Chain A
Amino acid sequence: MLTKRIIACLDMDGGRVVKGVRFKNLRDAGDPAECATAHARNGADEIVLLDITATSGNRYTLLDAICKTARSLFVPFTVGGGIRQLDDAAAVFDAGADKIAINSAAVRDPALIGKIARRFGSQAVVVAIDARKVDGSFEVFIAGGRVPTGRDAIQWAREAAACGAGEILLTSMDRDGTQSGFDCGLVRAVAEAVSIPVIASGGAGSARDFIEVFRGGCADAALAASIFHFGIENIAELKRELHDAGVPVRWPC
């Protein structure tokens, strides 16, 4: 049976893994390669590395971190942050990523999704959507959540899938970093609108949250960062709890 994936996300700033609440109050959480292999050993089904300083930082730092992380990581590895054109994606793949995540650049130029998909395959293109509830519907925000676009998240997910996206990484900005549970309403609305897998993100705080987003939210995968870094929730223990609750997961692994 196809299992629900648990994805560990590493937010990286200046070559170090960091974690804050809504991109603020960043705390050091370790070396990317070490964090990634530790999470994989602990049962993470996939690793996502997001460069949150992408717009102004030194790109060599990111490529170097990808190289080092990819060398001994044998689960799928996604990298995002500051990928604006095909060449940026190519450099990230060359460095060792299996998939790239694009967010702002895809909103500004949806054709970029198809360009990368034609060269590297749809399976390698994850479109990340940051959404916030505004007046009863979900609006897409870009530039690390700073810029509203006026676009509807469900419509945008549908368009991204039609352009050739292989997966949608859907972050609820309202829940991000709060550990108050995933936004199951948002996730379900998007999962029902597209046939490609939807990764739920934002709000993970406990095993119960994962169970809810896989059942009620219809998520194919769920991503979390802070609860894994700081040992609030151990991935192996989380998977055992999900397994015991009847959620299909890669367990034992």
Chain B
Amino acid sequence: MINYRTPIHSANAMDTRDNIILDGDNVTLYKCISVEDMPLAMAYVPWQQWKTVYDLNKALKIGTIFPELDLPFCGMRGEHA
């Protein structure tokens, strides 16, 4: 469970694209702020970052190249495929 009281720069804090930084290795960094500091009455989906991707054949079968977005239907509580 995400702990909304985590301090700034924690991996669990919500992120913002303010101050997108491209460092020498062409990696995009994101500044993190706490969910508590985000304005009320709005919805926030976290920014996806490019990590490793599935190989071509697996990606087509699954329906996405991104393992983080591979969230299959199991039809049963407590089960994760």
Bound pair (A, B): no
Residues of chain B touching chain A, judged by Cβ–Cβ distance below 8 Å, are none
